[in-house]
Structure 1
Amino acid sequence: MPHTIHLIDASPYVFRAYFALPDMRDPAGRPVSAVYGFASFLVKYIAEEHPTHLGVAFDESLTTSFRNDIYPEYKAQRELPPAELEAQLAACQAVAKALGAACFVHDRYEADDLIGTLATQLTRKGHDVLVVTPDKDLAQLVDARVTMFDYSKGVRYDAAAVRAKFGVAPRQVPDFLGLAGDAVDNIPGVRGIGPKTAAVLLDAFGDLDALFRRLDEVAALPIRGAKTLGAKLAAHRDMAFLSRELATIDRDAPARADLRALRLAGADPALVDPLFEELGFDGIRTRITRWR
């Protein structure tokens, strides 16, 4: 029987909570603002969306991702999480497990890769997938069975919505980022090419491979600076392909989509009660329903 599996990209919600909420401490005096915000989000999400199957992917590869081997500057502009936040990440995973979610984390692969791998395995088995994230990188996973859900904004993206937002099809997102880059992840792209130009190029040529085979045709495109654009692309060819590689989600990461493990049986009182008591989250605990 086909199911809809919800896969949550945890990091945006954990980081958002840490920076948005005031300093909070558990009864032992340890910082818990990120844990509190993440727990509130997850309890609210389950109560509102009623997932029957739920996986949560966490980032542990902040400096050890295979992408750092390919390009040491990858995400290098980002400051590492403060010690107070790093100490809360394990508790966020414990919260997800206590609420009945399957957790996925790896020191060499990012949450994007784990989600992409799980989504690929699940759709091959005939299931639908809802990827819960505000991260545009994951738009490349969208297809007939995969929808992206920016929960905070209440917006769901199918293939048509991805094209409307970015000007490209989901499968073209890595090529799009290969050209336009991504300042958030320090993916360089091609200097001087922005999102609009990248979208026009991909609309005309389909992907980077075809674009660089047909650079002589770029000058005829109805875009500003078209006559010199071919030379600019040729000069930055290697960086464009490197950027695409960095932006491409690895769908063969070490993660296994076990439907039984993904089944959201419900919050486990044996885990929830002592954990939330230790964290001092009595208010959240009273909101938890025994989900089926």
Structure 2
Amino acid sequence: MISTLLIIDAMNLIRRIYAVQEKQHGQTDKALIATQTTSVNALKKMLQMHQPTHAICVFDSHAPSWRHHLYPDYKIGRKPIPEFLKNNLSNIQDRFFEIGIDSLVTEDDEADDLIATLANKMSQQKQRAIIVSTDKGFYQLLDTQILIYDYFQNIYSDPLRIKNKMQLTPSQLTDYWAMTGISSSGIKGVEGIGAKGALALLQEFNSLDNLLSHPNTTEIDKRILKVQQHQQDALLAKRLVTLQKNINLGFNLKDLRYIKTQ
């Protein structure tokens, strides 16, 4: 029997729901209660829809990660979680637990890396993982065993959809972002190499490594020369955008088994 692990990017889900409730009710208890209720109902719908054998909600610790230490400007412009919501997260986690889903959070790792590790372990075991998130950074993980589900648009992403959408394979995306950067995370990439330029270079050279090792001639494409001249920037950006897949989690898949409580 093939197991299916439903991995919920919890803060991605909750913050989107809270933004709607805060707009309607302001920073009030009513907004928090509505967020909590709506989030729980969303999980119930996904459990019914996906029928997972295992499930987990992964939360950010909101503490600086290894990426912040490596690159101080990481996520520098991103709006922090509202304190009003942050102080209520434990109540939301308790409600998730009541319907049979535990929460995972550590002080040492980002939620994205925890999610990547969980999904990768399922894929390696030829089991199925469904990541619930709107974060495009997870596209790099897609393979025959890993899907991404956007709850708000009711859209699944798989390798074929990303290939059609971005004209690149999931394995090429970290090289693409290494050149373009990711503005929402404060990652600059290579100055002067936009989306079209990065796409063209990867379609020609297939990978950043091939591009960087291309012979430097007098007739070289200026875009190639620019990436080579800013090699360290590109390699730093790639390290930042690449999700870690081998974090020591300290538990087994059986610990995440979903048992319906109601």
State the number of aligned residues.
Answer: 259
- Aligned ranges for residues 111-122 of structure 1 at < 5 Å? 111-122=111-122
Partner of 1:230: 224
Q: Does 1:173 align with 2:173?
A: yes
Cα distance in 2 between the residues matched to 1:218 and 1:147: 45
Partner of 1:123: 123
SS class of match (2:103)? strand
SS class of match (2:244)? coil
Decide whether aligned partners of structure 1 residues 200 and 260 sit closer, same or farther in structure 2, where only a CA change above 3 A counts.
same
The one-letter amino acid paired with 1:262 is: L
Cα distance in 2 between the residues matched to 1:172 and 1:230: 17
Partner of 1:16: 16
Unmatched tracts of structure 2, length 5 or more? none
Cα distance in 2 between the residues matched to 1:56 and 1:209: 35
The one-letter amino acid paired with 1:249 is: L
Cα distance in 2 between the residues matched to 1:10 and 1:150: 12
Identity percentage of aligned residues: 29
CA-atom RMSD, angstroms?
A: 2.3
Q: 1:187 offset after TM fit, Å?
A: 1.3
The one-letter amino acid paired with 1:259 is: L
- Select which of 227, 234, 249 maps to 2:243: 249
Partner of 1:198: 198
Partner of 2:213: 213
Partner of 1:40: 41
Decide whether aligned partners of structure 1 residues 16 and 239 sit closer, same or farther in structure 2, where only a CA change above 3 A counts.
same
Cα distance in 1 between the residues matched to 2:115 and 2:104: 9
Rg larger for? 1
Partner of 1:281: none
Cα distance in 1 between the residues matched to 2:90 and 2:107: 14
SS class of match (2:73)? coil
- Select which of 233, 253, 259 maps to 1:259: 253
Q: Deviations over 1:83-134 (max 9, x none)?
A: 1021122222222222111321112211111111111222222211111111
Decide whether aligned partners of structure 1 residues 247 and 48 sit closer, same or farther in structure 2, where only a CA change above 3 A counts.
same
Runs of 4+ deviating beyond 6 Å: 217-220
Q: 1:216 offset after TM fit, Å?
A: 3.8
Cα distance in 1 between the residues matched to 2:218 and 2:181: 19
Q: Deviations over 1:242-290 (max 9, x none)?
A: 11100000111232562322211023xxxxxxxxxxxxxxxxxxxxxx2
Contact between 1:130 and 1:147, CA under 8 Å: does it hold in 2? Answer: yes
The one-letter amino acid paired with 1:182 is: I
Cα distance in 1 between the residues matched to 2:7 and 2:180: 27
The one-letter amino acid paired with 1:238 is: Q
Q: Does 1:49 align with 2:50?
A: yes
- Which TM-score applies when normalising by structure 1? 0.81
The one-letter amino acid paired with 1:91 is: N
Contact between 1:34 and 1:88, CA under 8 Å: does it hold in 2? Answer: no
Q: Please, which moves more after superposition, 229-238 or 30-39?
A: 30-39
